[in-house]
Structure 1
Amino acid sequence: MADEEKHKTDESRRQFLKNSGYFAGGLVGGGILGSVIGWQVDEDTQNQTQGEQTDQGNQGGPNFNRALKFFKNQEEFQRLSAATERIFPEDDNGPGAIKLGVPYFIDHELAGEYGNNDRLYMNGPFHEGTPYQGFQSRLKRKQIFKEGLRVMEQEAQNSHDDSFVNLDQEQQDEILTKFQNDEVKLRGVKASDFFGMLRESTLAGAFADPLYGGNTNMEGWRMKEFPGSQMSYMDEIGSEEFVEMEPRALYDHLH
């Protein structure tokens, strides 16, 4: 029965990713990382997540990447975590968003320039743009995430009379798909715009350098056999065969 249940879970995961139209490999190849520089768990998993105090490159000391900077409401952060796990779930290939620290990556991004739209023109007029113009909203990204998470919980209560974090995976996928298809209404922004930001940020957090809070122990890179931040490829560049390398993070060059 356990194997059958796991198979159903894997099928649900693959179907959602297929329907979303985004795959991790395609995003990395498409340069999404250049554009973007809690949780539904049981008690044991939550304690493990909250208790992670060391990581590779910071052995023996506090892991400050596991400190919240933007979210003050723990319920919001748990909702964000559950949503990211459905977008990038754990499977036989490796860890999912929660174990990779993706929710913390997003939290830190929202607390900084990304969340405050510091590099975007934010004066009016604000008109609905074409599909090629991206989102057109007077809201900052941090406000869009807040609004999206609010409506996510509202939709869960209206549809299933329970919190989003308590729903099963298929129910969570159902709600996220409604956001993707603009079947729910948000104030000041399209639901699909929020979903796009959530999806891009989730995948960026899975594959960004661990310095930014995600990609714990470079596990995201290991899944793709990505070498990370190597100092040089002089000894490998002439090889006609694929060279498997131990990935290196930015903090490795500080020692």
Structure 2
Amino acid sequence: MNRRAFLTTTAVGLVALAAGSASARSISGRLPWTAFAGEPPTPVTPGGWHFFNPREVVLMEAIVDRLIPADDLSVGGRDAGCVVFLDRQLAGPFGGAARAYMQGPFQEGLKTQGYQGSLTPSGRYRAGLAAFDKAVNDKLGARFETLSADQQDAVLTDLESGKLTLAGKVEASQFFALVLENTMEGFFGDPVHGGNRDMASWKMIGFPGARYDYRDWVDQHDKPYPRGPVSILGNIVEQQAG
């Protein structure tokens, strides 16, 4: 027997053995597995504040409402739950820099290297908000949340550019970038983490969320997705026609 004939005969035999030992079954009407059985999602703890103190809550709500202002397309950052998202993240592993190397030495790096300091994210927020609050009050004689929308935008623009100087270890533009990035994460992330309340941002952009299958719409470009988004927890928000 040559090599090719031997391999062919062996393969046929193995298939025959497998077919004889396996019992056929059909699956109909339900999935053959349970979603998240191995690692179920844990929704944020409702109610109260785990990291922010009352003054920081007021300040953060005013900030996120200017970073993501409400309009005819969506709610603003506060009503979308961005501050709740930030609060829970800062009270958890992210706030403590659980996945970052924090042993030093700490040296100022290049802009492309990101933050290189000794403060954890929670420490940066605590020091940054206090320094920002003081800087605004010293400059304008008023607290940020009492300013007009135009004044608030001007202050945040100065913070982003570094024109507004913050005391202590906080660099203004880096702090602004951190808050902006985290606010966007809260606005566009899954509601399981506390933000994107009622999947407002997903409805705004037509994102299907964690739907099991939407292949029939993948190739239909420039057409709005007709079905509402689904969160990781399985909550469904149906789109309104028109």
TM value normalised by structure 2: 0.74
Preserved contact between residue 65 and residue 212 of structure 1 (Cα < 8 Å): no
Preserved contact between residue 66 and residue 213 of structure 1 (Cα < 8 Å): no
Structure 2 counterpart of 1:248, from 207, 230, 235: 230
SS in 1 for 2:95: helix
Which 5+ residue runs of structure 2 have no aligned equivalent? 1-43, 237-242
Tell me which residue corresponds to 1:225: 206
Counterpart CA distance in 2 for 1:66 and 1:174 is 33
Tell me which residue corresponds to 1:104: 84
Preserved contact between residue 131 and residue 168 of structure 2 (Cα < 8 Å): no
Counterpart CA distance in 2 for 1:101 and 1:202 is 10
Which 5+ residue runs of structure 1 have no aligned equivalent? 1-62
Give me the CA root mean square deviation. 1.9
Tell me which residue corresponds to 2:185: 204
Tell me which residue corresponds to 1:215: 196
Q: AA paired with 1:94?
A: S
Tell me which residue corresponds to 1:171: 151
Larger radius of gyration between Structure 1 and Structure 2: 2
Preserved contact between residue 61 and residue 83 of structure 2 (Cα < 8 Å): yes
The yes-or-no answer on 1:117 pairing with 2:97 is yes
Q: AA paired with 1:154?
A: K
The yes-or-no answer on 1:191 pairing with 2:172 is yes
Which segments of structure 1 move beyond 6 Å, counting only runs of 4 or more? none
Preserved contact between residue 180 and residue 195 of structure 1 (Cα < 8 Å): yes
Deviation at 1:189, TM superposition (A): 3.2
Tell me which residue corresponds to 2:25: none
SS in 1 for 2:180: helix
- 1:148-193 CA-partner distances (Å, limit 9, x unpaired): 1112211221122111111111222222122211221342231111
The alignment of Structure 1 onto Structure 2 pairs a total of residues equal to 191
Counterpart CA distance in 1 for 2:118 and 2:85 is 24
- 1:39-82 CA-partner distances (Å, limit 9, x unpaired): xxxxxxxxxxxxxxxxxxxxxxxx944431111x2111110110
Q: AA paired with 1:195?
A: F
Preserved contact between residue 65 and residue 104 of structure 1 (Cα < 8 Å): no
Preserved contact between residue 139 and residue 189 of structure 1 (Cα < 8 Å): no
Distance 1:135 1:232, change over 3 A: same
Distance 1:235 1:146, change over 3 A: same
Larger RCO, structure (CA 8 Å, separation 6 or more): 1
Tell me which residue corresponds to 1:58: none
Tell me which residue corresponds to 1:38: none
- Residues 1-255 of structure 1: pairs in structure 2 closer than 5 A: 64-71=45-52, 73-183=53-163, 184-237=165-218, 239=220, 242=223, 243-252=225-234
Distance 1:238 1:220, change over 3 A: closer
Preserved contact between residue 67 and residue 104 of structure 1 (Cα < 8 Å): no
SS in 2 for 1:114: coil
Q: AA paired with 2:212?
A: M
Counterpart CA distance in 1 for 2:160 and 2:221 is 42
Preserved contact between residue 89 and residue 96 of structure 1 (Cα < 8 Å): yes
Distance 1:136 1:107, change over 3 A: same
Counterpart CA distance in 1 for 2:188 and 2:47 is 17
* Structure having the larger proportion of residues in helix: 1
Tell me which residue corresponds to 2:240: none
